[in-house]
Amino acid sequence: QVQLVDSGGGLVQAGVSLRLSCAASGGTFSDLTMGWFRQPPGKGREFVAAISWSGRTTDYGDSVKGRFAISRDNAKNTAFLQMNNLKPEDTAVYYCVADDRRHFGGTKPEEYDYWGQGTQVTVSS
């Protein structure tokens, strides 16, 4: 059973950067596809980014392409989401996710079995 603990959220002004972290335990981290979803206030969960178990392949939602970068450190069992040039519309609860079936390309919440508890990111204008 994989457990995920995400952290790094906060209240920031538009234009600044923030890095989220996701620490994984209970599984073989190098077998996990890792990703991030977000849920803005009053809306459904939206795909943000994913990275393959090897780290060689990444995918991004259209609204964050060119601003966000996902990465992973397999030696530390941790994934990261670097968020640059934050905008008020990036305000959401951000969730770290994982899939242990060596499947890559999922952009729907139901394609990920493991979820972190969520970390709030609020961007003021």
Q: What is the pLDDT of residue 28?
A: 94
For 45-70, how does the pLDDT look when each residue is reduced to its tens digit (9 = 90+)?
999 999 999 999 999 999 999 999 99
Alpha carbon separation from 30 to 18, 40, 68, 75, 113 (Å, rounded): 25, 30, 22, 9, 16
Residue 11 pLDDT more than 90? yes
Mean pLDDT computed over 37-48: 97
Residue 113 CA to residue 55 CA, distance in Å, equals 19
Residue 19 pLDDT more than 90? yes
Q: What is the pLDDT of residue 103?
A: 84
Q: How many CA atoms lie within 13 A of 31 on its CB side?
A: 8
Q: What is the pLDDT of residue 123?
A: 98
Phi, psi of 111 (to 5 degrees): -85, 0
Residue 29 pLDDT more than 90? yes
Residue 25 CA to residue 2 CA, distance in Å, equals 6
For 67-111, how does the pLDDT look when each residue is reduced to its tens digit (9 = 90+)?
999 999 999 999 999 999 999 999 999 999 999 988 888 999 999
